[in-house]
Amino acid sequence: MTKKLELYRCNLCGNLVQVILDGGGELVCCGEKMELVPTNNVEESIYEKHIPVFTKEGENTLVKVGKVLHPMNDDHYIMFIEVIDKHDDSMCLKYLHPGQEAQMIITKELSNPVAKAFCNLHGLFEGEMD
């Protein structure tokens, strides 16, 4: 059974899909079952640049990937940042590319948000607003 907002990856082609609504059955790509992408919450020094961090900036909220910004090189970068507001079940998503800063600005009021960042090498990381 799939759950809302889970991420699944195809081990053959690399497709990454997110579940919009809970459902039964299994997700299949390239003729094989897709694998659930686990969320890493490890704060070891190698991963500290992967955990999303929230900072209030006036009326807006800045979400940065890492206390020290994650590098955004051609071979190692954050592919996207996603912020989920658990209060009103809304989501903001920003795709990123090498050379950009690993951050996004949220202009709406947030209530109990969670941010997810996906690194092309190290996978999915999650951080919550303090």
Domain spans of the chain? 7-36, 39-128
Predicted confidence (pLDDT) at residue 22 exceeds the cutoff of 60: yes
Average pLDDT, integer, range 74-102: 92
In the CATH hierarchy, which top-level class contains the domain 39-128?
A: mainly beta
Q: Which residue has the higher pLDDT, 64 or 1?
A: 64
DSSP assignment string, 46-106: TTTTTSEEEEEETTEEEEEETTTTPP--SSS-EEEEEEEETTTTEEEEEE--TTS-SEEEE
In whole angstroms, what is the distance from residue 55 CA to residue 62 CA? Answer: 5
DSSP 4: T
pLDDT (0 to 100) of residue 116: 95
Structure tokens, 78: 């954050």
At residue 28, what is the residue type?
A: V
Each residue's pLDDT tens digit, 30-71: 999 999 999 987 666 566 789 999 999 899 999 999 988 999
pLDDT at residue 105, rounded to an integer: 96
Q: What is the mean pLDDT of residues 76-94?
A: 90
Compute the average pLDDT of residues 68-88.
92
- The class of domain 7-36 in CATH terms is mainly beta
